[in-house]
Structure 1
């Protein structure tokens, strides 16, 4: 697992370098794309970063055309006008997909060697490992 984590980190470093964004910015963009739209505070908790740090990340991602910060419509009495929701913009997805195309093709080749039942088992394992990582991150973030 450590080897896989390290190699994926190196891949993401190359991707973020090609996109001229920081590694942490790419991580936050992926979190918004996977779990969004999110409030900045929810994203900061999920990413394990201080809200002030996240403000800089969101500024860079918004300037780069990766995300938008949406405010509630005027006249809605049930929402705080200061509330912001962060949403990923799909306009630049082709750039991301293109940079990950080599890894995606390799994963397709690897998965072709497994039966549907084996793939289901592997997917369950990966979901459980992802959740364990999320819980460990939450523990370190809150403690």
Structure 2
């Protein structure tokens, strides 16, 4: 049987875990709001911005690889890529050896336009991070990476 001390410690831990999960949900909502506001400024839908970010971070991707990364149906991806291409955000490059193979790349000079709209958040995050030690930042980075992995695994399971 657990002692009162152990039971209290277990309750405190459960409350902290719930607080962490709630904070992650709050963060997700706030980042969605921020992304929506940026999207309005640059005339991109939220899903278009997500795909553009994936292309920016992962380099040239095939449309099917991008669809898998974004968790979207390939037909949906076609419409997104059409909008991004019309807006001058991406180019579709065809392989010289296989004309059916397409690689999606961002148009380099457009990235600054997006980054300017996120500069306020980046500055505020620099201020937040300044209050943590290097060891604490390593712990936070590890937590966020592991949380991202958990989200990916949960998404894969649902898509399964």
The answer, yes or no, to whether TM exceeds 0.5 is yes
Q: Which runs of 5+ in 2 are unaligned?
A: 1-23
Q: Deviations over 1:45-81 (max 9, x none)?
A: 11111111100100110111111111112xx3xxx32
Greater shift, 102-111 or 83-92, is seen at 83-92
Deviation at 1:35, TM superposition (A): 1.6
Q: Deviations over 1:10-57 (max 9, x none)?
A: 000101111111110001001111123111001111111111110010
60, 72, 77: which is aligned to 1:49? 72
**SS state of the match for residue 86, structure 1?**
strand
Higher-RCO chain (CA-CA 8 Å, sequence separation at least 6): 1
Distance 2:116 2:138 in 1: 27
Q: Deviations over 1:61-104 (max 9, x none)?
A: 0111111111112xx3xxx3201011122211111111001100
Distance 1:69 1:139 in 2: 31
Q: Which runs of 5+ in 1 are unaligned?
A: none
Superposed CA RMSD in Å reads: 1.0
Pairing of 1:24-43 with structure 2 (within 5 A) = 24-43=47-66
TM-score using structure 2 length:
0.82
Number of residue pairs aligned between Structure 1 and Structure 2: 137
2:115 corresponding residue in structure 1 = 97
Determine which structure has the larger helix proportion and give its number: 2
1:128 corresponding residue in structure 2 = 146
Q: Is the 8 A contact 1:68 1:87 kept in 2?
A: yes
TM-score using structure 1 length:
0.91
95, 98, 115: which is aligned to 1:72? 95
